[in-house]
C-alpha cells in the first residue's frame, strides 16, 4: 500500500519512500489502537453489567419472577404479567384458604365424589376420616387432587363455590391477572395466573405459620383409612433437599402448562420467592435466580428518628392516645440503595373510642423510589374508654319516679 505525497526536494509528486514507511506504520498503529479501544469498551461493559442480569438472561422459563418475600418488591422478572396456566401451583391458594379457615384440626369425612378426579392423588378412600390439616399435607406434599376436592367440598360445598372463594381471596390480594376454576389446577382456558401474581400469592401464604410449616415439610406420616401413621407423604419439591435455605413452596405440571415451580428460600434475614412458568429446566433456574438474589440483596437496618407519635381520639375520655412502635425495621436492599430510603407515618386523622391497648392504629412505611420495602406497626400504648353519654331529661325523670315508687313500696311493706 502506498500513500502519495509531495516530498521536500521532489516537486514532481513522486512517491517518497520515507513518507511511505511512516504512513503505512501510522495506519497499522491506528488500527491496533482502535482494536484495543474496542476490547476495552467490551471489558468495561462486562464489568459494569451485573452478573445478575447475565444470569437472568439464561433463564429458560417462558415467564418468571423473583421477589422479596417480606415487601413483595420485584428483584428480577421476565414476562411477569403474561397470563398463563399454572397447574398444581394452584394448590397454594387452596391451602391458604384451608389454613385461614380456622378449621385445621376439624375431622373431615372424604366424600366419594371428591375422588372422581384425574391426575395426582394422595390415595384417599371414600368415607375415610382425616383432619383438614392432614388433607393440606396431602395437598401440598403429594399434590393430591383428591385432597384438593375434599377441601373444596368441605369448605365451599362444591368445587365451583370454592373456586369463587379462591377468586375472592385473589381479589383481596390484588391479583388482578389471576382466575381460578378449580382447586387443583387442572387445565381450563379460564384458569390462569402470572408469574408475578403467583409470586405475591406465595409470599403472602408463607407469612402464615401453618402454611409455612406444611409447605416446608419434606416427609410426614399420617393416618391411612383409620390406621395410625399408615400413609407416608413425601414432598415433590426437590429444592428442599438440594438448595440450602429452601423453606417451601409448590411444584406443578400439565402438558399444557409445562413445568411450573414456586420456591421460597431464606438466608439470614433475606427471604426470596421465585416463580417459573413453563420451564423445562426449573430446578437449575431456581437455584440460579435465588443465588443471584442473595448475592444482590443484603438485610439492612432502617432507623426512624421519630421520638413520639400520638393519635387523635373522638368520643373518648381523652382526646389523644399515646402509641408504641419499633424505631427500626429491616429491608432487603441492593448496594447503595439505603441512602434513597424515605419513611412516612400513616395514621388516620382520628379514631373513635373505645380504643384497646395494643390496637393497631397505623404504620411507619419505608419506601425506595415509591416502592414499599418495609413497614412497622403503630399501636395504642394504652386503652381509651368511650365517654359515657349524658343522661337525657326524660331518663332523669324516669329514674326519679322509679326511686319514689320504690321508696313508698318499701315503706308500706
Q: Which residues are annotated as catalytic?
A: 88, 91, 143
Specify burial of residue 97 (Cβ count, 10 A radius: 0-12, 13-18, 19+): buried
Alpha-carbon distance 63 to 80, whole Å? 6
Cell numbers at 195, concatenated? 408469574
Closest CA to 204 of 64, 69, 68, 367: 69
Alpha-carbon distance 137 to 252, whole Å? 16
Kindly list the distances between the CA atom of residue 66 and the CA atoms of 32, 80, 164, 251, 368, in Å, as whole numbers in the listed order: 44, 9, 28, 16, 17
Chain centroid to CA 333:
16
The CA R_g of the chain, rounded to the nearest whole Å, is 34
Alpha-carbon distance 244 to 259, whole Å? 22
What are the start-end ranges of the H helices in 207-343? Answer: 209-215, 239-242, 282-296
CB 272 within 8 A of CB 75: yes
Amino acid at each position: 500500500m502506498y500513500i502519495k505525497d509531495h516530498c521536500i526536494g521532489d516537486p514532481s509528486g513522486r512517491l517518497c519512500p520515507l513518507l511511505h514507511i511512516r504512513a503505512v506504520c501510522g495506519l497499522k498503529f491506528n488500527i491496533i489502537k482502535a482494536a484495543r479501544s474496542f476490547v476495552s469498551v467490551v471489558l468495561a461493559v462486562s464489568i459494569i453489567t451485573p452478573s445478575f442480569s447475565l444470569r437472568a438472561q439464561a433463564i429458560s422459563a417462558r415467564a418468571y419472577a423473583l421477589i422479596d418475600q417480606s415487601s413483595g418488591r420485584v428483584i428480577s422478572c421476565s414476562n411477569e404479567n403474561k397470563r398463563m396456566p399454572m397447574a398444581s401451583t394452584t394448590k397454594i391458594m387452596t391451602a391458604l384458604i384451608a389454613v385461614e379457615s380456622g378449621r385445621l384440626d376439624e375431622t373431615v369425612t372424604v366424600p366419594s365424589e371428591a375422588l372422581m378426579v384425574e391426575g395426582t392423588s394422595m390415595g384417599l378412600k371414600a368415607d375415610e376420616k382425616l383432619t383438614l390439616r392432614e388433607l393440606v399435607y396431602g395437598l401440598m406434599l403429594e399434590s393430591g387432587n383428591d385432597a384438593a376436592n375434599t377441601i373444596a367440598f368441605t369448605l365451599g360445598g362444591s368445587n365451583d363455590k370454592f373456586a369463587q372463594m379462591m377468586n375472592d381471596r385473589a381479589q383481596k390480594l390484588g391479583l388482578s391477572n389471576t382466575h381460578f376454576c378449580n382447586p387443583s389446577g387442572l387445565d381450563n382456558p379460564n384458569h390462569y395466573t402470572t408469574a408475578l401474581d403467583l409470586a405475591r400469592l406465595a409470599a403472602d401464604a408463607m407469612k402464615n405459620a401453618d402454611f409455612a410449616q406444611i409447605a416446608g415439610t419434606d416427609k410426614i406420616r399420617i393416618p391411612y383409612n383409620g390406621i395410625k401413621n399408615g400413609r407416608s407423604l413425601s414432598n415433590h419439591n426437590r429444592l428442599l433437599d438440594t438448595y440450602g435455605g429452601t423453606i417451601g413452596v409448590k411444584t406443578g405440571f400439565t402438558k399444557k402448562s409445562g413445568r411450573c415451580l414456586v420456591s421460597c428460600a431464606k438466608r439470614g434475614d433475606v427471604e426470596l420467592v421465585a416463580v417459573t412458568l413453563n420451564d423445562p429446566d426449573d430446578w437449575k433456574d431456581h437455584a440460579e435466580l435465588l443465588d443471584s438474589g442473595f448475592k444482590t440483596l443484603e438485610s439492612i437496618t432502617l432507623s426512624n428518628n421519630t421520638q413520639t407519635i400520638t393519635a387523635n381520639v373522638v368520643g373518648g375520655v381523652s382526646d389523644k392516645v399515646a402509641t408504641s412502635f419499633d424505631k427500626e425495621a429491616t429491608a432487603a436492599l441492593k448496594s447503595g440503595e439505603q441512602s434513597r430510603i424515605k419513611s412516612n407515618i400513616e395514621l388516620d386523622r382520628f379514631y373513635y373510642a373505645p380504643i384497646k391497648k395494643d390496637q393497631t392504629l397505623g404504620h411507619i412505611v419505608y419506601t425506595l423510589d415509591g416502592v414499599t420495602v418495609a413497614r412497622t406497626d403503630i399501636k395504642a400504648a394504652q386503652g381509651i374508654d368511650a365517654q359515657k353519654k349524658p343522661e337525657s331529661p326524660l331518663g332523669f325523670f324516669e329514674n326519679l319516679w322509679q326511686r319514689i315508687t320504690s321508696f313508698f313500696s318499701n315503706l308500706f311493706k
